[in-house]
Chains A and B, each alone.
Chain A
């Protein structure tokens, strides 16, 4: 099974900061990687798929990059509504399964 790791697991940041979250797959997954944002008590929201394609309606301050095993999610200018937990997800092994990373919590400094 493909395992996903994320770093850091959590960190504090300020509004206006540029933040980067890293996701690593245990084997190459090409660009079959998505990012989700989740706020407490809510369902996850799709931000990016195919490693770098922005979902419709998602602000352009979010961007994704990478392929193979190493990926990043960048928020160029953190806004108050961006404080949340972010998950990466591989779908290389679809339809036999999906794997999520453990999540990265971004909170207010």
Chain B
């Protein structure tokens, strides 16, 4: 069974940093592109970042470029999101999602982890 379990969320002050983790199991993690998607409270979904199977390609939404870094450790079946210079508008539930091979769609999602940026 495919499982994605996020952790690392919490309350952080504006300008602070946080590192999210996503533990993957039930599939060959190193074979898939992975993504982070976020959802601000009461708002819609926003794609945040993508990373290729070997980590050689990474893409970001404009609003996080230069502040967030997506990475992965295939030996540990883990995906990460390092978030620096956090702003109030980064407050959201952050989901990790597996990009399918048949089509670049999100077939599996984690349960999400809440990041709150507030003083």
Contact = CB atoms under 8 A, between A and B. Distances in A.
Contacts, number: 62
Interface centre among B44, B45, B110, B112 (most CB of A within 10 A): B45
A50 B103 contact: yes
Interface stretch (B10-18, B46-54, B76-84): B46-54
Contacts of A99: 47
Interface residues of B, number: 25
A103 interface: yes
A interface, how many residues as a size bin?
20 to 34
Nearest to B51: A95
Contact of B109 (A43, A96, A98): A43
Interface in B22-76: 33, 35, 44-47, 50, 52, 57, 59, 61-62
A89 to B, nearest CB: 7
B106 A46 contact: yes
Interface in B97-119: 99-100, 102-107, 109-112
Interface of B: 33, 35, 44-47, 50, 52, 57, 59, 61-62, 95, 99-100, 102-107, 109-112
